[in-house]
C-alpha cells in the first residue's frame, strides 16, 4: 500500500469513528433529556400551576360568576356548569396511594402540550363532581412521571380533587384495567366494562401501558364517595 493510500484509509476510518461517537453522544443526551430534563420542566410547570390555582382560590371569589339569563326567558339549568377554559388548570388531584405528597394540577384538554403541564381532563366528559364520567389522562413516564405507580392502585383507594370550593373524594372500584388505545368506551358516562350500572358520578383515569410503550392503555374507574366544602378543611382521606 502506498503512503497516500494509507492516509486515505486512515482518514475514512477516523471520520467513521467520529460519526459513531457523535451519534452515541446524541443518543445519550436524548435519554438524559427524556428521563431527566422533561421531569425537571414538568415539575416546575406543575408546581407553577398549583401555585397559581392556590393564589386564585385564596384571593378572588371562586364561585362561578352569575350567568347571564338565557335568551327567551328560560333559566339555564343550575346543574349545567360553566365550561372549563381550555388549557388552563381548574383543580388539584391528590392520590395518597401514589405518595403522601402526590399532588398534580388538572388542566382542561388532553393535547400533548397540556399534558406536559399536568393531568388532562377529557373536555367532552363530565365536570368535576357532576353526573357522568369525569375522565383524566396523565403521563406514565417522562414529564414528571405522574402516573408511574398507576398499577399500584387498588379498590377503595381515594382519589381526592378540589376545585377551590369543594373537596371531592372518589374511591377506586377496580384494579387497573388494560385495554386498547381505541377503546373510547372507557370514558363513556357509564363505561360498559367498569361494573357500574346506571348513571352516577364517576371518575376515569387513563395512562399508557406498558410503562415505556403505547400499545395499550391502563384504566382505573372510581365513583364519588363524598364531598365537603373547602372551608371545612381537607377530607379525612388525605389525613389518614
Partner 1 sequence: MYGWIWRHLPGNTWVKALISLVLALTVVFILFQYVFPWAEPLLPFNDVTVDQGMAAVR
| Residues identified as active-site | 139, 208, 217
Region from 84-92, 135-143, 154-162, 220-228 binding partner 1, contact rule CB under 8 A: 135-143
C-alpha angle 114-154-176 in degrees, rounded to nearest 5: 55
When asked if residue 13 is in the footprint of partner 1 (CB under 8 A), the reply is: no
Task: Reduce the DSSP state of residue 30 to 3 states and report it.
Answer: helix
Instruction: Candidates 37, 47, 67, 131: give the one binding partner 1 (CB under 8 A).
Output: 37
Q: Which residue's entry shows cell 381515594? A: 158
The CA distance from 95 to 220, in Å, is 12
Nearest distance, CB of residue 92 and partner 1, angstroms = 19
- Spatial separation of the C-alpha atoms in residues 62 and 82, rounded to whole Å: 13
Which one of 64-72, 141-149, 154-162, 220-228 is the stretch in contact with partner 1 (CB under 8 A)?
A: 141-149
By CB under 8 A, tell whether 20 contacts partner 1.
no
CB of 226 to partner 1, least distance (A): 27
Give the three cell numbers for residue 16: 467513521
* Rounded-to-integer distance, Cα 142 and Cα 239, Å: 29
Closest listed residue to residue 106, CA positions, set 124, 125, 132, 87: 87
Could you list the residues that contact partner 1 (CB under 8 A)?
14-15, 18-19, 26, 29-30, 33-34, 37-38, 110, 112, 115, 120, 122, 124, 137-143, 147, 179, 181-184, 186-187, 206-208, 212-214, 217, 219
Amino acid at each position: 500500500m502506498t503512503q497516500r493510500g494509507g492516509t486515505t484509509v486512515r482518514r475514512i476510518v477516523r471520520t467513521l469513528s467520529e460519526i459513531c461517537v457523535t451519534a452515541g453522544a446524541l443518543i445519550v443526551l436524548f435519554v438524559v433529556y427524556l428521563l431527566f430534563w422533561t421531569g425537571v420542566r414538568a415539575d416546575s410547570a406543575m408546581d407553577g400551576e398549583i401555585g397559581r390555582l392556590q393564589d386564585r382560590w385564596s384571593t378572588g371569589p371562586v364561585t362561578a360568576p352569575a350567568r347571564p339569563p338565557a335568551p327567551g326567558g328560560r333559566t339555564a339549568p343550575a346543574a349545567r356548569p360553566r365550561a372549563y377554559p381550555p388549557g388552563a388548570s381548574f383543580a388539584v388531584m391528590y392520590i395518597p396511594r401514589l405518595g403522601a405528597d402526590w399532588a398534580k394540577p388538572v388542566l382542561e384538554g388532553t393535547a400533548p402540550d397540556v399534558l406536559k403541564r399536568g393531568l388532562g381532563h377529557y373536555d367532552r366528559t363530565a365536570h368535576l363532581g357532576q353526573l357522568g364520567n369525569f375522565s383524566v389522562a396523565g403521563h406514565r413516564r417522562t414529564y414528571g412521571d405522574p402516573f408511574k405507580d398507576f398499577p399500584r392502585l387498588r379498590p377503595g383507594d381515594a382519589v381526592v380533587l378540589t376545585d377551590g370550593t369543594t373537596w371531592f373524594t372518589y374511591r377506586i372500584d377496580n384494579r387497573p384495567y388494560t385495554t386498547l388505545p381505541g377503546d373510547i368506551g372507557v370514558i363513556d358516562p357509564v363505561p360498559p366494562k367498569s361494573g357500574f350500572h346506571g348513571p352516577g358520578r364517576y371518575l376515569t383515569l387513563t395512562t399508557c401501558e406498558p410503562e415505556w410503550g403505547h400499545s395499550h392503555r391502563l384504566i382505573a374507574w372510581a365513583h364519588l364517595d363524598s364531598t365537603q366544602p373547602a372551608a371545612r378543611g381537607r377530607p379525612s382521606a388525605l389525613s389518614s
